Structure 1
Amino acid sequence: MAVQMAPKTRFFRIATQTGYWLLLALLILWHGLIPESDTSALPTYLSLIFWVLPMLFPLVGLVKGKPYTHAWFNFILMFYFLHGLTTVYTHPDERVWSVLEILFTTVAFVGATGFARHRGRELGLGLKKQKEAK
């Protein structure tokens, strides 16, 4: 029997999905379809493997709505968040792309964190608290 999802939990799931798919599309556009800048050291196919492949690891768990996958997905998101912050500062010509990257990773991060927390509670998952020693 499946446990019903509360509206707040559903909101976080939608936020995660929105951030994830927008970030994935942005990465494909930015590193694959938009003409490369002269400073790029990698061929397009290697750039796509490097930037898109890590986003595909949590795909199945995110689509199925698994709280544990949402929790560890945040570690992958931090890579893209830091890249966006660095690029905003170091590459002014790519500032729009990097601001979008920061925005989408933030939406996905907040959504995944909220979903993992609320859905985990709904399913009775989580760490058990140890009783205080007397």
Structure 2
Amino acid sequence: MKIKPIYYHYLALAGFFGLFALLMLWNTLLTPLSKFPVALILLITVTPLLLPMRGLLNCKPKSCAWAAYISLIYFLHGSVEAYANPSERLYALLEIMLSLMLFLGSTLYVLFAETRS
């Protein structure tokens, strides 16, 4: 039984929207920083996700590839936070999981969507 590429795209979308929601909640409601304005933190953390969003929603392989590259930034951030900040380790592990979902879903979608066409 062969898995259709669209299921990989759904995995990427689940990781994308989960990561987006996590970053919004983490920086506003769960543990907001008092040193910096929340708007600045959201601008820095969420903007890279918004760059490939239109193409990702329209199943464009090039945008999916860029989303996979961008997801690695969030994987690194989650890894560093999980190591350095024990009080926020749960959120960091969730960020790692969602970024891996985005990475694997996007990568496998691009791989199998390209071979089918």
TM-score class normalised by the smaller sequence: over 0.9
> Residue 87 in 1 paired to residue 81 in 2?
yes
Gaps of 5+ in 1: 1-5, 124-134
> Residue 53 in 1 paired to residue 47 in 2?
yes
Displacement of 1:7 in angstroms is 4.4
Which one has the largest radius of gyration? 1
Per-residue CA deviations over 1:8-50 (Å, capped at 9, x if unaligned) read: 201101100100000000000001232424xx53210100000
Asked whether the equivalents of residues 69 and 103 of structure 2 are also in contact (C-alpha less than 8 Å), the reply is: no
Asked whether the equivalents of residues 62 and 69 of structure 1 are also in contact (C-alpha less than 8 Å), the reply is: yes
The residue type paired with residue 80 of structure 2 is T
Structure 2 residue aligned with 1:33: 29
Q: Which structure shows the higher helix fraction?
A: 2
> Residue 70 in 1 paired to residue 98 in 2?
no
Gaps of 5+ in 2: none
Structure 2 residue aligned with 1:21: 17
Question: Aligned partners of 1:66, 1:116: CA distance in 2, in Å?
Answer: 9
State the TM-score, normalized to the length of structure 1: 0.81
State the TM-score, normalized to the length of structure 2: 0.92
Percent identity among equivalent residues?
34
The alignment partner of 2:36 has SS state of coil
> Residue 9 in 1 paired to residue 5 in 2?
yes
Question: Aligned partners of 1:119, 1:53: CA distance in 2, in Å?
Answer: 27
The alignment partner of 1:41 has SS state of coil
Count of residue pairs the alignment pairs up: 116
CA RMSD of aligned residues (A): 1.4
Asked whether the equivalents of residues 10 and 105 of structure 2 are also in contact (C-alpha less than 8 Å), the reply is: yes
